[in-house]
C-alpha cells in the first residue's frame, strides 16, 4: 500500500463503520451489522484512540464528511483538509476541545509516571516544555482544538504509519533472506547427489507455484465473467452487467448487500475495498446505478495485474550477501561468548574441587580430634571401650622402678 494511504483508509473506514446504517427497504426492523474492516484498523500508534475519536467527531459534521469523501491522500498529507475545520459546527469544535484536553491530561500522566519511575524529584515540572516531545498536537495551546492540531495530528500519523510500514517491510525482507540462507546451508550439508535431487525438487515446486491459475482483480470484468460462467452457468461472451446485477440481487430489493456481495467473491479475493470504491453514498450496499457506474471505469476493463509475493524478489543479491555476513559475525560473537563462558565454568569447577578437598581435610581433622582422649580420661581399649585400673596399681605404675641386684637372681 502506498505511503500515507493507510491514514485515508482509516478515515474512510471510520466514516463507513460509525455513521452508515443499512437501508431497510423491506421495512423489517433489523439490527445494523457492525462492519469488520478489511484490515486491522488498529494503527498501533500510542495516540491511536485520540486519532480515532477526532476522526469520528469530525465525521458527524456533514460539511467535513463530504470533504473527506472527496479527498485524496495528497489533500490529507499537505494539510488542505485541516483548513476545513473552521467551517464545522460549534458542537463539533466543543467536542474536539474536550478530546484535546483529555489527551493532554493523559500525556501529562504518562510523563509524571515516567519521571516517578526514574526517581526524578521535580516538583515544579514544566508541562509545556515536556509536551513538546509529542508531535501530534500543539503543546502551546492545551485548551482548544485548532486547525494546527488537526494538521499536526494528520502529518504525524502519516509519518508514523510510513515508518511503521517501512519497518514491517524490512522485517519481512530479513525473514525472506533468512529462509534463503537456511535453504543454502541445508543444501551445503548434503552430498552432491542428494543436493542435486533436492535442488530439482525445490525448482519443481517453484515452477508449479508459478503456474497457479491467475486471480482476477475483484470487481473487474474478468472476475465477474468468471462468476457469470462458473456460478451462473452462462456464456461469458454474453456477459451483461445489468443482467448480472439482477441475477445476484437474490432478495430483489434493488441493491447488493453484504451477503450477496460475499457470494460474488472467493475467500481469497477481498471484496470490502471494492465495495467501498463502488458504494458512492456510503450506505454499505451497492445499488444498480452504482454498480453500472463502476463498469464504466477504466479499472473495470483494464485492472492492474495482481502480483503475489513470490513473483518479485524483495531483496537484492548484495543485500543477501550483507545479511549472511552479518549472520556470520553474530555466529562468531556467540562462539566467543560460549568459549568465555566455558572457561569461566572450568575455573569454577576447579575452585569447587579445591573447596571440596579443603572440606574433606577439615572433616578428617575434626574426626581425629573426636577420637583423641581428653586429659584424665581412661585409655580406650582395642574396641574403644574404657579400661579401669585400681588406684594402688595406678600409684605403683607412677613410681619409678628400682631394680636390685637380687632381682635378676630370682
Q: pLDDT tens digits, residue range 147-205?
A: 999 988 988 888 888 888 788 889 889 999 998 999 888 998 899 999 899 889 888 88
Residue 253: which CATH number? 1.10.238.10
Phi, psi of 290 (to 5 degrees): -65, -40
Distances (CA, A) of 107 to 102, 132, 144, 236, 277: 9, 11, 16, 60, 37
Question: What are the CB-based long-range contacts (under 8 Å, 24+) for 58-61?
Answer: 58/85, 58/88, 58/92, 58/96, 58/150, 59/14, 59/15, 59/18, 59/19, 60/19, 60/92, 61/88, 61/89, 61/92
Helix, strand, or coil here: 292?
helix
How remote is the C-alpha of 123 from its chain's centroid?
37
Place of cell 549472520: 327
Residue 105 falls within a domain, yes or no?
yes
Q: pLDDT tens digits, residue range 105-161?
A: 998 888 888 777 766 555 455 666 666 678 899 988 889 999 999 988 988 888 888
Number of domains in the chain: 2
Q: Does the reported pTM lie above 0.75? A: no
DSSP H helical ranges for 62-136: 62-70, 73-77, 90-117, 127-131
Q: Which residues contact 141 (CB under 8 A, 6 or more apart)?
A: 148, 149
Whether residue 169 is found in the same domain as residue 225: no
- The grid cell for 123 is 516538583
Question: Residue 1 and residue 158: Cα distance in Å, rounded?
Answer: 13
Last residue within a domain, chosen from 175, 208, 239? 175
Whether residue 19 is found in the same domain as residue 121: yes
Whether residue 15 is found in the same domain as residue 105: yes
Q: Per residue of the chain (410 residues), what is the pLDDT tens digit?
A: 344 444 555 554 444 443 333 334 344 444 444 444 444 455 678 888 999 899 889 888 988 888 877 777 677 767 777 888 888 889 999 999 999 999 999 988 888 887 777 665 554 556 666 666 788 999 888 899 999 999 889 888 888 888 887 888 898 899 999 989 998 889 988 999 998 998 898 888 877 766 666 667 778 888 888 889 888 889 888 999 999 999 999 888 899 988 888 888 765 455 666 776 787 776 778 899 989 988 888 878 777 665 555 556 788 999 999 999 999 999 999 999 999 999 999 999 999 999 999 999 998 888 888 887 655 555 555 555 555 555 555 555 555 555 445 444 44
Provide the residue range defining the domain that includes 235.
221-311
Residue 64 falls within a domain, yes or no?
yes
Amino acid at each position: 500500500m502506498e505511503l500515507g494511504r493507510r491514514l485515508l483508509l482509516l478515515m474512510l473506514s471510520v466514516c463507513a463503520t460509525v455513521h452508515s446504517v443499512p437501508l431497510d427497504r423491506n421495512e423489517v426492523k433489523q439490527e445494523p451489522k457492525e462492519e469488520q474492516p478489511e484490515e486491522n484498523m488498529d494503527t498501533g500508534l500510542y495516540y491511536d484512540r485520540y486519532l480515532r475519536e477526532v476522526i469520528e467527531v469530525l465525521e458527524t459534521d456533514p460539511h467535513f464528511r463530504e470533504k473527506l469523501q472527496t479527498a485524496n491522500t495528497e489533500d490529507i498529507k499537505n494539510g488542505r483538509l485541516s483548513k476545513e475545520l473552521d467551517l464545522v459546527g460549534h458542537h463539533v469544535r466543543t467536542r474536539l476541545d474536550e478530546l484535546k484536553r483529555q489527551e493532554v491530561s493523559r500525556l501529562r500522566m504518562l510523563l509524571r509516571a515516567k519521571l516517578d519511575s526514574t526517581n526524578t524529584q521535580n516538583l515544579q515540572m514544566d508541562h509545556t516544555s515536556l509536551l513538546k516531545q509529542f508531535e501530534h498536537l500543539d503543546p502551546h495551546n492545551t485548551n482548544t482544538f485548532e486547525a494546527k492540531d488537526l494538521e499536526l495530528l494528520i502529518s504525524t500519523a502519516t509519518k508514523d504509519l510510513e515508518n511503521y510500514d517501512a519497518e514491517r517491510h524490512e522485517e519481512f525482507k530479513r525473514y525472506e533472506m533468512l529462509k534463503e540462507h537456511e535453504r543454502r546451508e541445508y543444501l551445503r550439508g548434503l552430498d552432491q547427489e542428494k543436493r542435486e535431487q533436492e535442488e530439482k525438487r525445490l525448482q519443481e515446486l517453484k515452477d508449479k507455484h508459478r503456474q497457479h491459475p491467475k486471480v482476477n482483480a475483484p470487481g473487474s470484468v474478468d472476475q465477474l465473467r468468471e462468476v457469470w460462467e462458473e456460478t451462473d452457468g452462462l456464456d461469458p461472451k454474453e456477459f451483461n452487467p445489468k443482467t448480472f446485477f439482477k441475477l445476484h440481487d437474490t432478495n430483489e430489493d434493488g441493491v447488493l448487500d453484504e451477503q450477496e456481495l460475499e457470494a460474488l467473491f472467493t475467500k481469497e479475493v477481498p471484496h470490502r475495498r471494492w465495495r467501498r470504491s463502488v458504494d458512492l453514498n456510503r450506505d454499505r450496499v451497492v445499488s444498480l446505478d452504482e454498480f453500472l457506474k463502476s463498469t464504466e471505469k477504466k479499472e473495470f476493463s483494464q485492472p492492474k495485474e495482481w502480483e503475489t509475493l513470490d513473483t518479485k524478489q524483495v531483496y537484492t543479491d548484495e543485500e543477501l550477501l550483507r545479511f549472511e555476513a552479518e549472520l556470520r559475525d553474530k555466529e562468531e560473537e556467540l562462539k566467543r561468548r560460549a568459549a568465555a563462558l566455558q572457561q569461566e565454568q572450568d575455573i569454577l569447577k576447579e575452585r569447587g574441587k579445591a573447596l571440596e578437598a579443603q572440606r574433606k581435610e577439615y572433616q578428617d581433622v575434626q574426626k581425629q580430634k573426636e577420637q583423641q582422649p581428653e586429659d584424665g580420661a581412661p585409655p580406650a581399649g582395642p574396641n574403644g571401650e574404657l579400661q579401669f585400673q585400681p588406684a594402688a596399681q595406678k600409684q605403683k605404675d607412677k613410681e619409678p622402678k628400682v631394680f636390685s641386684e637380687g632381682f635378676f637372681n630370682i
